Amino acid sequence: MADYKLLSIIVPVFNERNTVAEAIRRVKEAPLDIEREVIVVDDGSEDGTLDIVKRLSDSTVRLVHYPDNRGKGAAVRRGIEEARGDLIVVQDADLEYDPRDLSRLLRPLREGQARVVYGSRFTGERRNMFFWHWVGNRFLSLITNILFNTTLSDMETCYKMFDGELLRSFRLTAERFEFEPEVTAVALRMGERIWEVPISYAGRELHEGKKISWRDGIPALTTLFRVRLARAESLVR
């Protein structure tokens, strides 16, 4: 059994005033038998999100603020720098993912079965997403599997839980949504076998505030090929 004591939950936020308070409440109340810290990285929000998070900050919720919007990847990377935990996971603030599922991701890590665990939206209960969103996700997962000889069902999932020491060793550069393929590709290049567990999912649509779109598919593809072709030693610190 791996002796993990602290889980760092990184919450990147950009203009989520309608959901951020509830997301943080759910994270704090999720049934986890491990100490947790919540690191909210506000990525230049302009809708009052920052003021809401400031009011919620306490001994378990830390706030990091960027004055300008840089992108999800930059926010998550800053969260990794700030994290003190020996386990690290990302939690979006849009209520698409249920923090009660975090215990499912925790189990394989604690039992020593893996150092990287993903929550798959395609093997658990879910609110069906639009067809072309589904196609895009499946296509990017297929390319990942071809390039790195694996069988991931959901490369683009937000729920990625890492051994903290391992994640901190990665030399990550992503600024925006290409963080998901980059961190996945680096883990696979380093020989990690990613464990998947089913999670629930309630996806938003564009009119509800969803920010990722088909345009983000091209940077994702180029990132996968870049990491596949890079020298392995250049991908770690």
DSSP tag of 127? E
CB-based contact 114:195 (threshold 8 Å): yes
Residue 10 has which token pair? 């990184």
Which residues neighbour 128 within 8 Å (Cβ) at sequence distance 6 or greater? 134, 203
The whole-number pLDDT of residue 2 equals 78
Residue type, 6: L
pLDDT in tens, 18-43: 999 999 999 999 999 999 999 999 99
pLDDT in tens, 93-137: 999 999 999 999 999 999 999 999 999 988 766 555 666 566 778
pLDDT at position 209, please? 47
Domains and CATH numbers, the chain: 6-235 (3.90.550.10)
Does the pTM of the predicted model rise above 0.85?
Answer: yes
Q: What is the pLDDT of residues 175-216, one digit of tens each?
A: 998 999 999 999 999 999 999 999 999 875 554 445 565 576
Residue 60's contacts (CB-CB under 8 Å, 6 or more residues apart) are 28, 36, 37, 38
* 134-165 pLDDT tens trace: 677 889 999 999 999 999 999 999 999 999 99
Answer for the pair 71, 176: CB distance below 8 angstroms, yes or no: yes
Mark 16-32 as b/e (b = at least 16 C-beta within 10 Å). Answer: bbbbbbebbebbbebeb
pLDDT at 55 over 60: yes
